[in-house]
Amino acid sequence: MQDQDIVTTSINTIRTLSMDAVQAARSGHPGAAMAMAPVMYCLWNQCLRFDPENPTWPGRDRFVLSIGHASMLLYATLHLCGVRAIGDDGTTSGALAVSLDDIKQFRQLDSKCPGHPEYRLTSGVEMTTGPLGQGAATSVGMAIAGRWMSHTFNRPGFEMFNYNVYALCGDGDMMEGVSSEAASFAGHLRLPNLCWIYDSNRITIEGGTDLAFSEDVTKRFIAYGWQVIHVADANDIKAITGALQSFQHRSSRPTLIIVNSHIAYGAPNKQDTSAAHGEPLGEEEVRLTKRFYGWPEDAKFLVPDGVYKCFREGIGARGRALREQWTLKLDAYQIKYSVQAQQLRLMQEGQLPEGWDRSIPQFPADGKGLASREASGQVLNAIARHLPWLIGGAADLAPSTKTRLTFEGAGEFTAGETGRNLRFGVREHAMGAILNGLAISKMRAYGASFLIFSDYLRPSLRLSAIMNLPTIYIFTHDSIGVGEDGPTHQPIEQLASLRSIPGLITLRPADANEVIEAWRVIIRLQQTPAVLVLTRQNLPTLDRSRYAQASGLRQGGYVLADAPNGQPDILLLATGSEVALCIDAYEQLAKEGIHARVVSMPSLELFEAQVQTYRDAVLPPSVTARVAVERATTFGWDRYVGRRGHVIGMKTFGASAPEKLLAKRFGFTTEKVIEAAKAQIRIREHRVG
């Protein structure tokens, strides 16, 4: 049992480091960090199964700071715990993940202590947080992964995975809809390894929470199926420890620990508590608060004697012992359960098992063809048979998105089962965050919905890209081809919106064989999220003995059909369902002696990643007559057709009618493509003349 004086001193060190860093930066939020310091101390130094010397040890507990604005709370703790940095090669270095100098550079350029925690930048940070609700929701995915890994890898005498996931939340998290969706889902699954700690300080940027938030959170979470524990005072170490132990030892469902706190606790002279949340305290208030703590008033970034030792003897000693026991167990596990050990190693390293693609079907040429969602469903199942940690589902749309795993042994993930089909319900927002939690946990996770509903997932999509996670998003019903459902279900601006996210790859394949190649690209990704955009309607399966091989998809754009002499008069560019339209136009133009080139461009991001010589070979700068065709907004296509080129696209939100009538109304016909191509050639000839 540690001496109470050093416990108090350690807690106050977290507080004062947070105050000093925020004050030095003249930017940030010290209040929550100061109030939650006792909770952070109890969790990390007394409970968390975490080895500071190896912060990526697979058997560790996970901690997510969902209230990312309280980032100094985490940085101060990582520093005092002595968490070591992880190098680019994945190995632990001798350097601290967060040094005292890093804390002094809080919120400054290139600091390891940015304004909100950033995954991969600072070791010990389990995910990027900031947008409220995202951390809490993502922690549900981490807990699902933990339960799946326990079921998959644990054997008698070999408990390789039994970790808990903790998320520290605030009033803002409780208000955001994404956390409500995720909490509902976690309660439905009865995840016993998930604990949210709710800092109920009753304050937000605008003032008291009673301005906008008056619900009974306890009753809400009980209704979700959670265990709810109350701690009346954030400074009551005994009560906090007891609540954490209650979760660890008696939980059979998710746990919410509600901790009542006061922003800038210990600063009795602070009248405007909202300012303590939204801005630095000010030099005078810092001195007064330090006086209240019995701290040297003018000392800055002080770590008193005994504090480092306190953490070394707490989390340091406990974490090292637990990790060493786990490592010894792994050595024996590799001998007795070599198949499972090999799968575990590959999963942790982001590698693929041998033969992962051996069951992928081939699709023969077929004028009628099949919908790209149908082809994708077949390919997904073929891959999942040989990639055991590929897991996912849809937001209540699996029959429509064709994303259910149907092979023997796939199973369901429910409160009582631990299979690989997740039924997210109508919860797109939470689904995206949960997928990120699975991906952070080294699983290959996919989620599906209609393309129009990608808007609901955008915050999670963006975080996938920021965190360099290989999360897989499958969106079907990709255009006005949805037909009678009308403008509310017809995606127009969504493709352009997705393409605007840095670090995200969007793929819209033209036929079944491009679907195969798209999946080959996606599965090989290790640090890049991908969106697969698919049709509801059938697409002709192109004759690849006549046209170029679908493997050209790997370059993002490729010459699908060319002029006989390789010198085209006109370039026809398209993605997805519109490629077949361009092929029809190509064939008819050829009969009239007009030499066209059809370029399939399933991924603009992959195309832009190619060297300039390749891009110029596909889209020769000398050929200025160009037509692009896509059943979406024309935004962005001017990059490829130029100022004088033509884009056949959408300028409205569509209409409710059968698909064929919509295609005619909005100009997506062979005749319109031919007409536009001839007009482009006339413009070119006029300029030359």
- Which residues are known catalytic residues? 428
What distances in angstroms separate CA 85 from CA 79, 96, 124, 686, one per listed residue?
A: 11, 5, 8, 64
CA diameter of the chain: 92
669: number of Cβ within 10 Å: 17
Pairing of strands 62-65, 596-600: unpaired
CA dihedral 435, 135, 468, 528 (to 10 degrees): 20
Q: Are 267 and 281 in contact (CB under 8 A)?
A: yes
The enclosing H or E element of 598 equals strand 596-600
What residues contact residue 36 under an 8 Å CB cut-off, 6+ apart? 70, 73, 168, 199, 234, 259, 261
Q: Which two tokens stand for residue 169?
A: 């939340």
Alpha helices in 415-493 (DSSP H): 428-440, 454-466
CA dihedral 600, 606, 611, 612 (to 10 degrees): 50
Q: How far apart are CA 480 and CA 328, in angstroms?
A: 58
**Core vs surface per residue 543-558: b (16+ CB within 10 A) or e:** ebeebbebebbbbbbb
Residue owning tokens 């306890």 = 218
The enclosing H or E element of 345 equals helix 338-349
Q: Which two tokens stand for residue 1?
A: 């049992």
Return phi, psi of residue 185, to 5°: -65, -40
What residues contact residue 523 under an 8 Å CB cut-off, 6+ apart? 352, 356, 357, 383, 387, 444
Q: Which two tokens stand for residue 3?
A: 């001496």
Burial of 433 (0-12, 13-18, 19+ CB in 10 A): buried
648: number of Cβ within 10 Å: 23
Residue 392: closest CA among 359, 439, 353: 439
Q: Are 196 and 167 in contact (CB under 8 A)?
A: yes
609: number of Cβ within 10 Å: 13
**Would you tell me the crossing angle of helices 177-189 and 134-153 to the nearest 10 degrees?**
20
Q: What are 228's strand-pairing partners?
A: 256
Q: Are 99 and 73 in contact (CB under 8 A)?
A: no
What residues contact residue 616 under an 8 Å CB cut-off, 6+ apart? none
CA dihedral 116, 260, 34, 212 (to 10 degrees): 50
